[in-house]
Amino acid sequence: MDTSSNRIVFILILCIAVGVGGILLQRNLTAKSPRALPVAALVPTPSGKPVVLSGQLHIGYATETLSNPFWTTVSNAANEVAKTKNVTVTVLGSEDIAGEVKNAEDLIQQKVDVLVLTPWDAQGIIPVVEKANAAGIPVLTVDQNAAGGKVETYIATDNVLGGKLAGYWLAEALGGSGKIAVLEGKAGATTNNDRLSGFHEVLKMYPKIQVVVSLTANWKRDQGLTVMSDILTAHPDLNGVMALNDEMALGAMEAIKSANKTNQILLVGYNGADEAIRQVNTGNIAADVVQYPEIMGRLMVEWAIRIKNGEKPPARLNPGVNVIDTTTLKKAFTAISKGK
Amino acid sequence: MFHARCTLRRSALDFVTLCPNGYLFTNYRGFSSIRSVFADGHVAKTGGRVTGILNRFYRTFRTLITVFALLIFWIIFAARSPYFLTADNLLNILFQSANLAVIATGLTFVIIAGQIDLSVGSIEALVGSAAAVFMVTHHQSPLIAIVGGLIIGISCGAVNGLLHAVFRIPTFISTLGMMSIARGLALILTAGYAVYGLPESFRFIGQGHISGVPFPVFIAAVYMVLGHIVLTRTSFGRHVMAVGGDEKAAAYAGIRIGRIKQLTMMISGFSAGIAGILMTARLNSGQGTIGETDLLDGIAAVVIGGTVLRGGAGSMWRTFLGVLTVGSLRNGLNLLGVSAFWQQVAVGVIIIFAVLVDTLQRRDPE
């Protein structure tokens, strides 16, 4: 028994050694590091004179969870633009603020040229922003802002406007009166606050619309499902639901389907996620506030390059926002299929 | 059956305790075993692991494997990223693993005693949130807030232990319940928001430096050393090992197992509390959501180091190795840009591998 278990352990170590050797060998054959070769990249600047960047620009993007398609869209768009401009983007997803802080610290450790953040929490991210400031790394924020430290620019949809658009749409669709429920995102998030404030500001003009309950589902689909089921049980005569992001809307949609109330309740989502738009097409979701995550990704990379070339960005960059519902979506599809 | 005191007699083996009723309790190099010495002088094994030359070899071999694996990780990461083996990054690893190290220290005591504490992450969040609320809403000084928070941490641990001691609920269940309770309380305290506006002096705990060494690293190092001293050089430490090795025999040897287990749970709660304070200072805000990965990482660190989950053996050195491994793994994978999802898979695979190596080497003649 001694010798056989001894032998097994020895074989395991041998496998590890061979594996490591193989990886190292492969590594040497395809040697590539972010700063191996100086590369001339011509980037147009406002003055018209092209600037040569020696070496690749390395952008570090510490974002929220990559299981939310919104962030994968932003990251993929950023990567696509980065490829054409000879820039590398390292994307690190996280499940909470503590994980994100660790990711951002590791990016700073790698001496990225620009740090881009989508903070889970505006307060918790401040120490990391300050660390980046101290290290001389410019910081950009996407969609969620940081409440302190020096941020070069904040790239986000005008979420107050988005909330207003949603409020107008829902109030008009309900004919100016009815009972609605709100599914909120993570408490304290900038986008949450902005969307809510816009939404409520518009609703003030419709006194016959009553918000019977406003609960948080933390931006998550499974929580959207459970919270919605509970709300439906407590308020069987609900007319409308405003879910502040698409993940929650998709969860709420399932709850409404199970309760057979799809015809009774108007569900509004927020984000413009692929899946949500499909559901708007089928009518399961009544309307969706569309953001442009691809534009966010593109702006992130373009402005990172421009900031590194010394340009000063505006404090806030706005990719645009819109609202679509089933009728406008069908019109758009017909127009597209007709080749317009 | 119970004797209040056993005479301590050092021999070629460390810490040999010969009890008046004839039970011999030895603790050699992290192993405890209890044998009964009969009147005619012959010795029979009543429990615990065999302390012998072969086992000593296996334990050293096991440690070598862990060190070897750690070195392999370092080589791989260093080869693929020029930033990994820099002094800056190594300090970064220690800095990021500081709260994990503190939690793993507490978990070491618990696991050696044969118990488990699933609530460490939640207690971390609760104590951090409570301390933040003390400072912001009640305008207490950081010192009072920290003391208050740590008292809450110890109390949670005490509740865990009491549920086991008084009601015989397995610690798996009692800490499972506490995991939920503490997390809920943390979220209630913060109402889901971040509690910010902490006094400047508190920030030093998370972000200050003592001659170049970040303060959390300093705290974690001191805590681990203290833990090591308590585990190896005090009678409490030896009793923890005995209780984990064989409860019944330890009881016969005169050790109050209920009290020992209670104390280990309180140590774990206290450690989780310190980790919570460190994390809150690092984020400069009270967050009810922290600590969710720390449970898995903490158990991984203890197990990878070589402390067996069954209990009765282990040391702080092993835990330190495990903490380094988990910390390097996460940091290295981040530097390589590996997604958090694959990192989770990696940690799980490493844990299974580590326990597998342990099982292959197990020598249990009983």
What crossing angle do the helices spanning A2-29 and B53-80 adopt, rounded to 10°? Answer: 10
Give the pLDDT of residue B311. Answer: 84
Average pLDDT over residues B321-334: 91
Please, what's the b/e burial string for B122-143 (b: 16 or more CB within 10 A of its CB; e: otherwise)? bbbbbbbbbbbbbbbeeebebe
Nearest C-alpha in B relative to A95: B340
Average pLDDT over residues A191-204: 94
Q: Which residues of A touch B330 (CB under 8 A)?
A: 102
Q: Do residues A110 and B83 touch, judged by C-beta distance below 8 A?
A: yes
A88 touches chain B (CB under 8 A): no
What crossing angle do the helices spanning B257-283 and B142-167 adopt, rounded to 10°? Answer: 150
Q: Do B284 and A33 touch (CB under 8 A)?
A: no
CB-side exposure of B127: number of CA atoms within 13 Å? 34
Distance CA(A172)–CA(A170), nearest Å, equals: 6
Q: Which residues of A touch B357 (CB under 8 A)?
A: 9, 12
Distance CA(A200)–CA(A197), nearest Å, equals: 5
Average pLDDT over residues A157-167: 94
B73-87: pLDDT as tens digits: 999 998 888 888 888
Give the pLDDT of residue A42. Answer: 44
Please, what's the b/e burial string for B281-312 (b: 16 or more CB within 10 A of its CB; e: otherwise)? bbbbbbbbbbbbbbbebbbbbbbbbbbbeebb
Structure tokens, B28: 């050699």
Structure tokens, B193: 């928001």
**Is residue A16 very low, low, confident or very high in pLDDT (cuts 50, 70, 90)?**
low
Q: Do A97 and B290 touch (CB under 8 A)?
A: yes
DSSP B28-42: ETTEEEEEEEPTTS-
The mean-pLDDT minimum among A107-116, B49-58, B356-365 falls in: B49-58
Give the pLDDT of residue B61. Answer: 77
Q: Do B340 and A95 touch (CB under 8 A)?
A: yes
Q: Do A121 and B357 touch (CB under 8 A)?
A: no
Nearest to B357 among A9, A123, A188 (CB): A9
A103 touches chain B (CB under 8 A): yes
B340 touches chain A (CB under 8 A): yes
A111 touches chain B (CB under 8 A): yes
**Is residue A12 very low, low, confident or very high in pLDDT (cuts 50, 70, 90)?**
low
Q: Do A101 and B283 touch (CB under 8 A)?
A: yes
Interface A-B: count of C-beta contacts within 8 A: 119
Give the pLDDT of residue B209. Answer: 87
Q: Which residues of B touch A13 (CB under 8 A)?
A: 65, 68
A41 versus A311: the higher-pLDDT residue is A311
Q: Which residues of B touch A24 (CB under 8 A)?
A: 75-76, 79
- Residue of B233, B228, B202, B226 whose CA lies nearest to B215: B202
Nearest-CA distance from B256 to chain A in Å?
36
Average pLDDT over residues A77-100: 91
A21 touches chain B (CB under 8 A): no
Q: Do B192 and A187 touch (CB under 8 A)?
A: yes
When the pLDDT of each residue in chain B is averaged and rounded to a whole number, the result is 83
B115 to A141, A297, B99, B175, B265: CA distances (angstroms) = 45, 49, 21, 10, 9
Give the pLDDT of residue B24. Answer: 54
Structure tokens, A205: 């003009």
Give the pLDDT of residue A19. Answer: 60
Q: Do B285 and A123 touch (CB under 8 A)?
A: yes
In chain A, positions 125-164, which contact chain B (CB-CB < 8 Å)?
126-127, 147
A232-259: pLDDT as tens digits: 999 999 999 999 999 999 999 999 999 9
Q: Do A23 and B361 touch (CB under 8 A)?
A: no
Nearest to B75 among A20, A126, A216 (CB): A20
Distance CA(A54)–CA(A41), nearest Å, equals: 7
End-to-end CA distance of chain A: 77
Q: Which residues of B touch A111 (CB under 8 A)?
A: 83
Q: Which residues of A touch B337 (CB under 8 A)?
A: 90-92
Kindly report the number of other CB atoms within 10 A of residue A160's CB atom: 18
Chain-centroid distance of CA B108 in Å reads: 3
The fraction of chain B above a pLDDT of 90, given in percent, is 46
Kindly report the number of other CB atoms within 10 A of residue A318's CB atom: 15
In chain B, positions 200-219, which contact chain A (CB-CB < 8 Å)?
203, 206-207
pLDDT beyond 60 at B113: yes
Give the pLDDT of residue B211. Answer: 85
pLDDT beyond 90 at B33: no
When the pLDDT of each residue in chain A is averaged and rounded to a whole number, the result is 85
Distance CA(B260)–CA(B240), nearest Å, equals: 6
B68 touches chain A (CB under 8 A): yes
A292-321: pLDDT as tens digits: 999 999 999 999 999 988 899 999 999 889
Q: Which residues of A touch B77 (CB under 8 A)?
A: none
Structure tokens, B162: 């009491």
Chosen for mutation from A75, A92, A117, A126 (greatest number of chain B CBs closer than 10 Å) is A92
Q: Do A20 and B193 touch (CB under 8 A)?
A: no
Q: Do A123 and B54 touch (CB under 8 A)?
A: no
A47 versus B346: the higher-pLDDT residue is B346
A198-209: pLDDT as tens digits: 999 999 999 999
Give the pLDDT of residue B357. Answer: 78
**B166 class by beta-carbon count within 10 Å (0-12 exposed, 13-18 middle, 19+ buried):** exposed
Distance CA(A34)–CA(B337), nearest Å, equals: 12
pLDDT beyond 50 at B29: no
pLDDT beyond 70 at B180: yes
Q: Do B341 and A66 touch (CB under 8 A)?
A: yes
Give the pLDDT of residue A31. Answer: 41
Which residue's entry shows tokens 């080749």? A339
pLDDT beyond 60 at B223: yes
A15 touches chain B (CB under 8 A): no
Q: Do A110 and B293 touch (CB under 8 A)?
A: no
Give the pLDDT of residue B66. Answer: 84
**Is residue B208 very low, low, confident or very high in pLDDT (cuts 50, 70, 90)?**
confident
pLDDT beyond 80 at B251: yes
Give the pLDDT of residue B362. Answer: 56
pLDDT beyond 50 at B51: no
Distance CA(B215)–CA(B320), nearest Å, equals: 18
Alpha helices in A30-137 (DSSP H): 69-84, 97-109, 126-134
A188 touches chain B (CB under 8 A): yes
B57 touches chain A (CB under 8 A): no
Q: Do residues A166 and A199 touch, judged by C-beta distance below 8 A?
A: yes
Average pLDDT over residues A4-27: 58
The mean-pLDDT minimum among B37-51, B186-200, B286-300 falls in: B37-51
Nearest C-alpha in B relative to A65: B340
A2 versus B232: the higher-pLDDT residue is B232
Pairing of strands A114-117, A87-92: unpaired
Give the pLDDT of residue B10. Answer: 43
Q: Do residues B250 and B17 touch, judged by C-beta distance below 8 A?
A: no
B344 touches chain A (CB under 8 A): no
Average pLDDT over residues A137-159: 93
Q: CB-based contacts of B219: which residues, under 8 Å, 6+ apart?
A: B98, B102, B205, B274, B278
pLDDT beyond 50 at B46: no
Q: Torsions phi, psi of B101, nearest 5? A: -60, -40
Distance CA(A185)–CA(A224), nearest Å, equals: 10
DSSP A203-235: HTT-TTEEEEEEEE-TT-HHHHHHHHHHHHHH-
The mean-pLDDT minimum among A176-185, A290-299, B82-91 falls in: B82-91
Beta bridge partners of A142: A155
A2 touches chain B (CB under 8 A): yes
Average pLDDT over residues B262-280: 96
B291 touches chain A (CB under 8 A): yes
Distance CA(B79)–CA(B99), nearest Å, equals: 28
pLDDT beyond 70 at A7: no
Q: Do A90 and B192 touch (CB under 8 A)?
A: no
Give the pLDDT of residue A339. Answer: 72
B160 to A260, B97, B195, B262: CA distances (angstroms) = 44, 25, 27, 8
Average pLDDT over residues B254-281: 94
**Is residue A263 very low, low, confident or very high in pLDDT (cuts 50, 70, 90)?**
very high
Distance CA(B74)–CA(B85), nearest Å, equals: 8
Q: Do A90 and B337 touch (CB under 8 A)?
A: yes
CB-side exposure of A297: number of CA atoms within 13 Å? 22
Give the pLDDT of residue A117. Answer: 96
Chosen for mutation from B66, B67, B279, B289 (greatest number of chain A CBs closer than 10 Å) is B289
A34 versus A143: the higher-pLDDT residue is A143
Q: Do B92 and A12 touch (CB under 8 A)?
A: no
pLDDT beyond 60 at A219: yes
The mean-pLDDT minimum among A229-243, B54-68, B143-157 falls in: B54-68
A52 touches chain B (CB under 8 A): no
Nearest to B360 among A9, A103, A122 (CB): A9
Nearest to A93 among B69, B82, B340 (CB): B340
Which residue's entry shows tokens 């929220």? A64
Q: Which residues of A touch B83 (CB under 8 A)?
A: 109-111
Q: Do A124 and B287 touch (CB under 8 A)?
A: yes
